[in-house]
Amino acid sequence: MTARTRRFISVLSLLFFSACDEGLKPVPAYVPSGTLSGLITYHNWPPRDSLVNLRIVAFTEFPPTDIVFSVLQGIAAVYPSIGDTALIPFYVDSLRYSFVVRAGHYPYVVVAQQFGPDVMKNWRVVGQYDLDTNLAVPEAIDVPDRGVVKDVNINVDFTNLPPQPFK
């Protein structure tokens, strides 16, 4: 073997092994996804001691059978995502939002409020995506792969909450 061939094999080996720091593993499967965006408009903010957290949640079922299970299992899309330290700001008139979700059907998109210290139980819906004034019937959304669904606008009135579909 010539010196040139040995050098070529050495360089090739170096490139190969430096690129395989985690060994051989499958290529992650593509997950079809799209974007939800819109405007949240707020009215009649409650006292500060009842505001622990606000999240936008897009459920794949209505009514959701178990909000905590849906969120933890990834059945529901949450913004800001679980573990994200950024929070939706309090005491603003409105907020524009945009976040990535799996492509699919979302019959229930809401703003949820954590109103007490128990992160597993102290949640309620404070606004839902609804195109008409009948708050009992939320509007479904279909998110296409690589698509953007705009104008998913949600009105939040803390003195006039929508029906609570879960306990």
> Residue 11's pLDDT is what?
38
Cα–Cα distance for residue pair 46/141, rounded to 1 Å: 29
> Residue 65's pLDDT is what?
77
Residue range 129-145, pLDDT digits in tens: 998 766 677 899 999 99
Structure tokens at 141: 């959304």
Binned at pLDDT 50, 70 and 90, residue 26 comes out as: confident
> Residue 149's pLDDT is what?
96
Q: What is the pTM of this model?
A: 0.79
> Residue 133's pLDDT is what?
64
H helices of 26-159, in order, are 67-72
Our CA dihedral for 76, 56, 138, 46, rounded to 10 degrees, sits at: 140
Least confident of 1-10, 49-58, 82-91: 1-10
Least confident of 103-117, 124-138, 148-162: 124-138
Residue range 80-103, pLDDT digits in tens: 988 787 889 999 999 999 999 999
> Residue 103's pLDDT is what?
95
Cα–Cα distance for residue pair 108/62, rounded to 1 Å: 6
Return the CATH architecture of domain 28-157.
Sandwich (2.60)
